[in-house]
Structures are given as C-alpha cells and as structure tokens.
Amino acid sequence: MNWEYLIIHHTGAEEQDTEQVRRYHRSLGWRDIGYNYVIEKSGLVAPGRSLEIPGAHCRAGGMNTRGIGFALIGNLEEHPPTTEQVDALVGLLGRLMLEYQIPVENVLGHREVPGAATVCPGRYLPLEDVRGKMLKNQNNAVEASLGDSEQILLKTSTGLWIVQVGAFSSRERAEQYAQKLREQGIGALVMKKDN
Ligand SMILES: [Zn+2]
C-alpha cells in the first residue's frame, strides 16, 4: 500500500460506537471494518482496519489501497457532525498528513473521488472548512517555528512542507521538546528518522 490520499466518509447511520460498525461490516463477510479510523459522536477516535492491508471504503480511484479511510458516525446528509467530531478529524488528518507526507489537496470527501457515485460524507460535513483549517494549522506551525527553533529545515518533496524544529538522540528529550511546543499551541509530532 502506498497511502497518498485521506478519504473522509460518514457512516450514514446513527451507530452507538465503532464496534457496532465493525459488527455490521463483518456480518457482510468482510475481514474487518472497512474504514481505517472511526470518529464517534463524542470525538473519540477509534482505530479501524489495519493499514497493513487494503481498506474497504472507496473502490473508486483504487482508493482502498491508496487512501486512508475515515468515517464520522452519523448520517451527515441529515445533520451536522458534532464539534468534537470535526476537531478530532482535523487533529487526526494533520497527524496523518505529516506522517505520510500527504498534501492538503489530497484530503477528499468520498464523493469528490472521481467515479464515486455517492453523497458521502453528507452535505453537512464542511469539507472546505476542514481543508482550510489544515492549511491554517500548517501555516501557523511554520510561522511559530521561525522565531526560536533550534534548527529549521524546510523541504518539499511531494508538495508538503515539513518543518523540523529539533533533533534529539533520546526519545524522551524529543517528547519533552514536542510537549513544550504543544503548550504553545503548536502541533508537534515525534518521528524516528532512520539513518
Ligand atoms: Zn463513503
């Protein structure tokens, strides 16, 4: 699998929790829940299907092997998601964009995938707002880092700009530094760089 896209869905139903979605998908004979992450109404993010195997959430565009699938519980064609769900979605997307170096233009609603005939993730999911927030977070992180960072490395490969603000020989020190950044409202992710 080569994860290049992040695909947003709604479940289209009002399930109580992720396990209910999982039981339903398994009852269809699937090996596991179709989505890679589920965001419950409380904003709880629950892991779904392993990223080591193809997903089962969007056949169009070959997205089951190219796109990580997220589902917000609810029928968002009928009502908006909860604020907690949108916040959790923005946080999760930001983390995965960084981890897999996915640019914001590859964050798509299911119906935006060419060839997908669906209303998913529903008219009440504010896709443009979500993408706008992702861009803003990226820009804020860049601006905030420029002042006092130990080391800044700006580089572009797939169109996503990565800001590196420190390099540490111990994980503990890296986590401490990341925590300092988070206290200032700057999103930070600790990643191991293999030599
Ligand atoms: Zn969908």
- Regarding whether 111 and 51 lie in a shared domain, the answer is yes
- Regarding whether 158 and 128 lie in a shared domain, the answer is no
- Regarding whether 126 and 65 lie in a shared domain, the answer is yes
User: What's the gap in Å between 162 CA and the centre of ligand 1?
Assistant: 29
User: What's the gap in Å between 146 CA and the centre of ligand 1?
Assistant: 39
Distance of CA 103 to the CA centre of its chain: 11
Contact 39, 88 (CB under 8 A): yes
User: What's the gap in Å between 48 CA and the centre of ligand 1?
Assistant: 15
* pLDDT, position 88: 92
* pLDDT, position 160: 52
Does any domain span residue 92? yes
| Strand blocks (E) in the chain | 5-10, 37-39, 45-47, 67-72, 107-109, 153-156, 161-164
User: What's the gap in Å between 73 CA and the centre of ligand 1?
Assistant: 11
- Regarding whether 163 and 118 lie in a shared domain, the answer is no
User: What's the gap in Å between 122 CA and the centre of ligand 1?
Assistant: 9
Strand 45-47 with 5-10, pairing: unpaired
User: What's the gap in Å between 159 CA and the centre of ligand 1?
Assistant: 26
Among 70, 71, 69, which residue's Cα sits nearest to residue 15?
71
Domain count, the chain: 2
- Regarding whether 163 and 128 lie in a shared domain, the answer is no
Distance separating alpha carbons of residues 29 and 119, to the nearest angstrom: 24
- From first to last of its 195 residues, what are the pLDDT tens digits of the chain? 899 999 999 999 999 999 999 999 999 999 999 999 999 999 999 999 999 999 999 999 999 999 999 999 999 999 999 999 999 999 899 889 888 989 899 999 999 999 999 999 999 999 999 999 888 876 665 555 444 443 333 333 344 556 677 788 888 888 888 888 877 777 776 676 665
- Regarding whether 104 and 12 lie in a shared domain, the answer is yes
Does any domain span residue 194? no
- Regarding whether 123 and 27 lie in a shared domain, the answer is yes
* pLDDT, position 184: 76
- Regarding whether 71 and 30 lie in a shared domain, the answer is yes
Does any domain span residue 192? no
User: What's the gap in Å between 58 CA and the centre of ligand 1?
Assistant: 6
* pLDDT, position 43: 93
By residue range, what is the domain housing residue 61?
5-133
- Regarding whether 69 and 41 lie in a shared domain, the answer is yes
User: What's the gap in Å between 8 CA and the centre of ligand 1?
Assistant: 7
- Regarding whether 110 and 129 lie in a shared domain, the answer is yes
Tokens of residue 162, six digits: 């990565």
* pLDDT, position 165: 75
User: What's the gap in Å between 57 CA and the centre of ligand 1?
Assistant: 6
Does any domain span residue 189? no
User: What's the gap in Å between 61 CA and the centre of ligand 1?
Assistant: 13
User: What's the gap in Å between 148 CA and the centre of ligand 1?
Assistant: 42
- Regarding whether 102 and 22 lie in a shared domain, the answer is yes
Q: How many angstroms separate the Cα of 25 from the Cα of each of 1, 30, 33, 48, 63?
A: 21, 6, 5, 11, 18
Distance separating alpha carbons of residues 69 and 64, to the nearest angstrom: 8
Among 48, 54, 20, 47, which residue's Cα sits nearest to residue 33?
48
* pLDDT, position 150: 35
- Regarding whether 45 and 117 lie in a shared domain, the answer is yes
